[in-house]
A and B are shown apart, each in its own frame.
Chain A
Amino acid sequence: MKGIFFLMLLFFSFQYVSAQESIKGKIIDKGESKPIENVSVVLLTADSILSKFTRTSETGAFELKDVKNGSYILILTYPKYEVLSKVIEVRDEPVQVNEIALSSQSLLIEEVVISQKIPIRIKGDTIEYDAGSFETEKNAKLEDLFRRLPGMTVSSDGTVTANGKTVSKVLIDGEEFFGYDPKIAIRNVRADAVDKVQVYERKSERAELTGIDDGERIQTVNVVLKEEAKKGIFGNVEGNFGTQELFDAGLFVAKFNQAERFGITGNWNNMGNTGGGGRIRSNNQITGNPEYKSIGGNYENRLFQKRMRFTSNYNYNHNTNETERESYNKELLPDRIQESRGTSSNQTSNRNHSFRAQSNFRIDSVRNLNINLNANFGNGTNSNRSERTTWKDTDFKLNDFEETNQSFSNRSNAGLRLDYRKRLNANGRNINVHFNTNFSNNDSETRVNSTTDFYSGAVLDSTRVINQLRMSDNSNGNIEAQVNLSEQFFNRKLNVTLGYSIENSNRKDRTDAFNASSSTEFNELDSAYSKNESNNVLQNGANLSLNFNTEKWNINVSNNLSNRIQNLGDTYREIDLERSFWQNSLNSNANYKISNSKSMQFSYQNRTTVPSFEQLQPFQPRTNELFQQLGNPNLKRAINNTYNLNYNSFKLLKSSNFNVNTSFNTTHNPIVNMTIIEDNGKRVSTFYNISDKVNWNLNGYAGYSQPVLSNFMVFSPSISSNLSKSFNFLNGELNETNSNTNRLNLGLEKQTLKTVDVEWRAFIGATTQRTSLQPHLNSTNLTTGTNATVNYYLPYKFNVMQVIHYNLTGKTKVYPTAIHQFYMNLELNKKLLKSQDLILSVKAFDIFNTFNNINRSLGGTDYSETQVEILTQYFMVGLKWDFNKNLGKKND
């Protein structure tokens, strides 16, 4: 009895003794080696919960008593000194911390940030990121910053996606910067100049200016610069040289002075891109022998005592290429198998100038005028030689086709948009007048020489030779005017706009095809290949738009009803058609802000698809003997309904982001193409309405991202699913296709700029296609792939980057072998100079030469394979210099 009691006492005392320990230590000043009194010593548990705290005594000593076993973080703070944190483990014995030396802030190289920053917040329908909360490397550019933002991804070719939608516009401080190519801003504007990044959906330019929603949405990213970044000069110069005489040289210089921004950019490369050819993250396969030269400039400023905002940009580029291609195509039709095989070689050369200017003029406090001007002109040459053979059921040759084709073309285009708005009273009544005009002209001269041999039962039946000179002249003119009156009700919560619009467009398309009358003269007009088309449309419309705005809700309903009178004619075919349509287009959307971090959007659109000229006109000119397009003048319009539902949320403390996008689309009375293949392989195409069927399409996407492993990595899974039913004709018979695609994406990234950084993405998906006419071809096709970019940070400012890409497309009944694609790129670079502004790099592309250069595409009933002359394995050496004077540097 006594023994048990004694044991229990020992047990309890042991527990008591071992459960609580003390932590002791001493703090001194690093610079002066003197003890510091009153240093705040705070003990936190591993999840930052406050456990104990104390202050150092006169001798700099501190003691925390009665600390239970476990892992803790010790935080030491003192005004104007660095904040030091240490991990402490308490395990059954008192902890004596070694003497800790605190450095005063004047000794530290970096500033301690003392401001309140929230990394992500939702403001209305905009998601705003605080750039300073996301670390980037020195000289990092916008695209490197975008890669860090949760919910945003940048693909290998520079396309930015935000919340599942592709970004088509990148603005700097609300204005376009080199607006003709968003990649210029993303690849050259510095990340350290950015204060905030805002992501939102903008309406089309016309909808924004008139207030009448036309349903078009442009996913936009606006980069807000820091105050100190609005003044300075920055830019970069880069040169890359490689094996096979490859090179890529580029230059970018910009000068910012508050509202005045000036930039020039230039690039010359033979790698088949518009700049940035030496980047190992991109798809770097070079098709043919390309050459690209471009120069561009951007100027913007505020003029007339800051009442006018003016933006302009100019670009010239010259693009040439020579390519060779081999292709094979197989179609499985209900009554036969059709195959064709051919080769082609092509040379093109294009020159283009484009100019764009925008000015927003605030005439006075009630009047505003916007003027947009754009102009484009260029010319090009194209020559092509091709040959192709078509068989039926493997053994029966149907036709042989051979053609050489050479053309010269000139094109020009100019447009003007004027928008005038005047506020009529203090309650928000205003009037808006909108004017838009556009003219374009395209003319070309083509020499065609082709021979088509038709076979019947393996014996040559007939031959058709075409030796023509085709002169084409195409011109298009369009004038539109709109007047809108808006009024506001209910304390500015409701905005009602009523408007009238009138539009006249005129298109002339003339092709004169002259057959050769001798070896050098082309005199005989071949009417089968010529046309003199005119298309004149007069459209009158009325618009009604309602906009309701409260703190939580933003609801918009716009309806456009118009009458369209269309005159179609072709004097060469004695065609003179006149038709009139009533068209209605309804756009509605609602945005509900559930909280500061959650929002929901719903939209519904109803519109009619009116048949085009090619679909209506019965007889049309030919371009070759194997294809004929017939129109159907009895075509009626199709009606489209689209529903969209989106949900967005993120948790600030968890830094997690969740996004759901769904859409459902139906088309009633769809206009469907019917192509009949005649016995000799010639195709005749026409269009029909399928009046009793509905094409529909359902899409869903859900994506989530959150940091894992104590903020060490970010994990982002997403799923997407698509279900659709559509109708088409297979060689004249109505066919119903049901298809279902499901895909799971995973992403994992670690971007801490230390040791190794990884960006890994993988996906697995399955597509099922079932057709009614050929159920024996129904199959489920598996696709999977993975992509990884690994960055190794080595000592002495060396860096190794590795890009791995793998893709697998599973077999189907049409092509019963799986297709693999794999390549790996590698780069070694070193930062030179004390400022690390100069980078020397050595790159290897497709290092194991495993790139599969056969391009295969699989449909439910057809399969095609193309092999192009392509260069995938090569090596390059590059040098890049970044310069930055005053931009982003605070004036102390």
Chain B
Amino acid sequence: MIFKNILLVFVIGLIAQTTKAQYAYFPTEGQITFDKTVHVKNLLKRHIASLKDDNFSKSYFTQILDKAPETVVLKKKLSFTPDEASFEHVKEDYLPLISQLMQQGILDYQVNSYENFKTKQYKAAFDVGGSPILIQDSLLKVKWKITNEYRNIAGYDCRRANGLTLDSVYVVAFYTDQIPSTSGPGSLNGLPGMILGLVVPEQHYNIYATKVDFTAPVIKSELGKKKDKPLTRKELYTQLKSTLGDWLSTAQFNLIMAAMYL
């Protein structure tokens, strides 16, 4: 008898769900795999252009430029729930030259980050020249301008938004209304839907989602080691400027910092 009632409730529940399902399905948690394509040659050219003529790094970069491949594709993964999200770099085998550039901090910092949308908190962990860095700060502030252009990414219709962040870095993001999350790859956030496509012209990379699935995600909220001292973005900028500022020109320094923060 009880079973029959439970079954009845279950069936009614199912029917109720299906009558609502004539409308679209809005997932609130899942995992998204992204492909980050870096235009290595162009990025190197930009670094070369930011250096002075007598800087010895310039000749080093120019030599590398010939051997470097046109592009390299890195894999990233985003796990999200309504309140939290974690973003991680997926390690793969790379060409020796690419590994070398990544270690030097030219290509990609393999940042692993965590965001909490309720507390508006942002955490990120990565290495710079062998030293571990832990950032703890508020969510990245981006000024978004919504446009009328659309693009289809991973099967979702995405609308284009142009963003300005870190005072002068211009980004282009494609977000979808069908995933009601303000998250996205890296630290970009703040749009009315999940960001499935991101282009950062000055860093010569673009990130596009390749697979979206709605299995229960695992959010990694503990990053870095206990002994790492957390820094805000401003504190990190000042600290690194005093150590690296002598070697690098302001233009190159800002390029490197932006790559860490995005």
Contact = CB atoms under 8 A, between A and B. Distances in A.
B180 A47 contact: no
A116 B191 contact: no
Contact of A114 (B20, B24, B150): B150
Given A50-B144, A55-B180, A116 B150 contact: yes
Contacts of B26: 38
Contact of B24 (A79, A116, A117): A79
B111 to A, nearest CB: 25
Given A36-B23, A37-B23, A78-B24, A53 B150 contact: no
B150 A49 contact: no
Contacts of A746: none
A113 interface: yes
Listed residue (B143, B177, B191) with the most chain A CB atoms within 10 angstroms of its CB: B177
Contacts of B161: 50
A47 B145 CA distance: 8
A48 B148 CA distance: 10
A48 B180 contact: no
Interface in B154-171: 157, 159, 161
Contacts of B159: 77
A49 B144 contact: yes
Nearest to A653: B162
B190 interface: yes
A814 B151 CA distance: 65
A50 B178 contact: no
A79 B146 contact: no
Interface string A35-68: 0111011101001111001010000000000000
Contacts of B145: 47-50
B192 interface: yes
Nearest to B178: A79
Contacts of A41: 192
Contact of A42 (B146, B147, B150, B178): B146
Interface string B6-33: 0000000000000010011010000000
A80 interface: yes
A38 B150 contact: no
A75 interface: yes
A40 B182 CA distance: 12
Contacts of A113: 150
B152 interface: yes
A41 B177 CA distance: 10
Nearest to B192: A53
Contact of B177 (A37, A47, A77, A117): A77
A36 B180 CA distance: 15
B227 to A, nearest CB: 40
By size class, the interface of chain A is 20 to 34
Contact of A49 (B143, B177, B191): B143
Contacts of A78: 23-24, 177
B149 A40 contact: no
Nearest to A116: B151
B184 interface: no
Interface in A1-53: 36-38, 40-42, 44, 47-50, 53
A462 interface: no
B186 interface: no
A79 B177 contact: yes
Given A37-B23, A38-B26, A79-B177, A114 B157 contact: yes
Nearest to A117: B149
A75 B26 CA distance: 19
A115 interface: yes
Nearest to A54: B192
Listed residue (A42, A47, A113) with the most chain B CB atoms within 10 angstroms of its CB: A42
Contacts of B144: 49-50
A414 B150 CA distance: 55
A36 B191 CA distance: 21
B185 interface: no
A38 B149 contact: no
Contacts of A42: 146, 192
Interface string A643-671: 00000000000000000000000000000
Nearest to A49: B145
Contact of B150 (A44, A80, A115): A115
A114 B161 CA distance: 15
Given A37-B23, A75-B146, A114-B152, A50 B157 contact: no
A719 B118 CA distance: 58
Given A50-B145, A79-B24, A38 B157 contact: no
B190 A80 contact: no
A80 B24 contact: yes
A114 B143 CA distance: 24
Contacts of B23: 36-38, 78
Contacts of B180: 38, 40, 55
B146 A44 contact: yes
B212 to A, nearest CB: 14
Interface in A91-123: 113-117
Given A78-B24, A78-B177, A40 B192 contact: yes
Nearest to A52: B192
Nearest to A58: B20
Contacts of A53: 191-192
Interface string B188-230: 0011110000000000000000000000000000000000000
A42 B177 CA distance: 10
Contacts of A37: 20, 23
A117 B150 CA distance: 8
A725 B144 CA distance: 57
Contacts of A79: 24, 157, 177-178
Nearest to A114: B150
A44 B191 CA distance: 12
A47 B180 CA distance: 24
A457 B239 CA distance: 104
A115 B149 CA distance: 7
Nearest to B177: A40
A846 to B, nearest CB: 44
A75 B147 CA distance: 11
Nearest to B152: A114
A40 B146 contact: no
Contacts of B178: 79
A772 B139 CA distance: 77
A112 B150 CA distance: 10
Interface string A715-731: 00000000000000000
Contacts of A117: 149
Contacts of A38: 23-24, 26, 180
Nearest to B24: A79
A79 B24 CA distance: 7
Listed residue (B23, B190, B193) with the most chain A CB atoms within 10 angstroms of its CB: B23
A745 B24 CA distance: 54
A41 B146 CA distance: 13
Contacts of A48: 145-147
A42 B176 CA distance: 13
A115 B193 CA distance: 19
28 contacts: A36-B23, A37-B23, A38-B26, A38-B180, A40-B177, A40-B193, A41-B192, A42-B146, A44-B146, A47-B145, A48-B145, A48-B146, A48-B147, A49-B144, A50-B145, A50-B146, A50-B190, A50-B191, A50-B192, A55-B180, A75-B146, A77-B177, A78-B23, A78-B177, A79-B177, A114-B152, A114-B157, A115-B150
Interface of A: 36-38, 40-42, 44, 47-50, 53, 55, 75, 77-80, 113-117
**Nearest 6 CB-CB pairings of A with B:** A53-B192, A50-B144, A40-B177, A79-B24, A114-B150, A38-B26
Given A53-B192, A116-B151, 19 more contacts: A36-B23, A38-B23, A38-B24, A38-B26, A40-B177, A40-B180, A40-B192, A48-B146, A48-B147, A49-B145, A50-B143, A50-B146, A50-B190, A75-B146, A79-B24, A80-B24, A113-B150, A116-B149, A116-B150
Interface of B: 20, 23-24, 26, 143-147, 149-152, 157, 159, 161, 177-178, 180, 190-193
